[in-house]
Amino acid sequence: MAAAPRIVTVSLNAAIDQTASVPNFTAGAVNRVVWEQSDAGGKGVNVASFLAGFGHAVAVTGLLGAGNVELFVRLFDEKNLADRFVCVPGQTRVNVKIVDDVSNRVTDINFPGVAVGPDDLAAVTMAIEDLIEQDAEWFVLSGSLPSGLPPSSYRDLIRLLKSRGRKVVLDTSGAAFVDAIDTGPDVIKPNIDELTELVGRPLEGERAVVDAARDLRRRGIDLVVVSMGAKGAIFVDGAQAVHAAPPPVAVKSTVGAGDAMVAGIVDACLRNLALEDCARLATAFSVGALGEIGPRLPARAVIEDICGQVATKRIEE
């Protein structure tokens, strides 16, 4: 009998990630695909897959288009994820990444998702309430909102979860992020552009990033993680601020790298790791994803090796 899920990921706008390798890709010309790979994805689905690969019992919920659900069903079976998704008419959106290894460039083409409404969100809310009753502890709310749902959707879900004493991780952007930030999610992981947009001022240098993160902590957030691409990430909790710098890596795909960091943060929190250890582990998860094609992680031994190569330093107050 499968263990009851301790972690739940919520994906209101899941996606199929299609990666195509096109050497010397040229807009306006005929391009030849060398190889192609399609993966069930979306931010919450990726987080769930990564955590399941590291031994966690995870449930997935959110909204999927019924017209192309097969890839998701296959992934959920492979990863032993408890499927609590709500299927709606239409097809789940496709995100295309054109990888050009010659010029070392990636071109993104993102299709729109299915249109949904309040009844669909209500069905997801019911699934979340059922998972609360099964004693799920951590809820990860990730990704954008589909057409038809208001920016307040994550805000309302977080209020429900916090009223029931659950831990919440929020990883979104734009109006949905602004609307939800004052509900007190336990963890947020904006990238530097998302944080800059939220605070409405340039964030130049580590000190400015830490100050912005401290402002957010005063609004009821325990841990703020700001990802900065090749410059690493800054982790800020109540006691300290830590910068984590990744080791050099040959990037095969950026699909799921941010989601891998979220998975590493959740794994670290469940293991009660100190902030510097959390920063190393979450960064290693992200670096590991960069070396894989599609939303995947290498073996645990590889992640542990990368972890030892992550350089951390405390940012003094």
Q: What DSSP string runs through 212-259?
A: HHHHHHTTT-SEEEEE-GGG-EEEE-SS-EEEEEPPP---S--TTHHH
Which pairs with CB-CB distance under 8 Å and at least 24 residues apart come from 306-311? 306/247, 307/280, 307/281, 307/283, 308/280, 309/247, 309/284, 310/244, 310/245, 310/246, 310/247, 310/279, 310/280, 310/283, 310/284, 311/244, 311/245, 311/247
| 101 and 146 within one domain | yes
* Cβ proximity of 86 and 137 under 8 Å: no
In DSSP terms, 188 is beta-bridged to 170, 224
| 166 and 19 within one domain | yes
pLDDT tens for 60-90 read 999 999 999 999 999 999 999 999 999 999 9
Choosing from 137, 172, 207, the residue where a domain stops is 172
In a domain, 55, yes or no: yes
In a domain, 177, yes or no: no
What is the domain count for the chain?
2
Sign of CA dihedral 285, 287, 292, 295: positive
| 218 and 132 within one domain | no
In a domain, 206, yes or no: yes
Report the candidate in 190, 203, 267, 290 with the shortest Cα–Cα distance to residue 236: 190
Tokens coding 118: 């309040």
pLDDT tens for 100-127 read 989 888 898 988 888 899 999 999 999 9
| 220 and 144 within one domain | no
| 164 and 219 within one domain | no
Choosing from 126, 149, 172, the residue where a domain stops is 172
Q: Which helix (H) or strand (E) holds 196?
A: helix 192-199
In a domain, 178, yes or no: no
In the annotation, is 259 catalytic?
A: yes
The catalytic position among 17, 259, 267, 305 is: 259
- Is pTM, for the whole model, over 0.85? yes
Tokens coding 20: 């195509």
DSSP codes joined into one string, 63-103 = EEEGGG-HHHHHHHHHHT-EEEEEEESS--EEEEEEEETTT
| 131 and 4 within one domain | yes
pLDDT (0 to 100) of residue 103: 87
Choosing from 141, 172, 203, the residue where a domain stops is 172
What letters, b where the CB count within 10 A reaches 16 and e where it falls short, cover 126-157? ebbeebbeeebebbbbbbbbbebbeeebbbeb
| 154 and 79 within one domain | yes
In a domain, 179, yes or no: no
| 264 and 160 within one domain | no
pLDDT beneath 70: ranges in the chain:
1-2, 317
In a domain, 24, yes or no: yes
pLDDT (0 to 100) of residue 49: 95
In a domain, 181, yes or no: no
| 242 and 154 within one domain | no
pLDDT (0 to 100) of residue 2: 61
| 222 and 111 within one domain | no
CATH number at residue 46: 3.40.1190.20
Report the candidate in 14, 10, 25, 34 with the shortest Cα–Cα distance to residue 293: 34
| 271 and 223 within one domain | yes
Range of the domain at 63: 1-172
| 217 and 84 within one domain | no
CA 39 remoteness from chain centre: 15
Report the candidate in 308, 306, 295 with the shortest Cα–Cα distance to residue 52: 295
In DSSP terms, 18 is beta-bridged to 38, 96
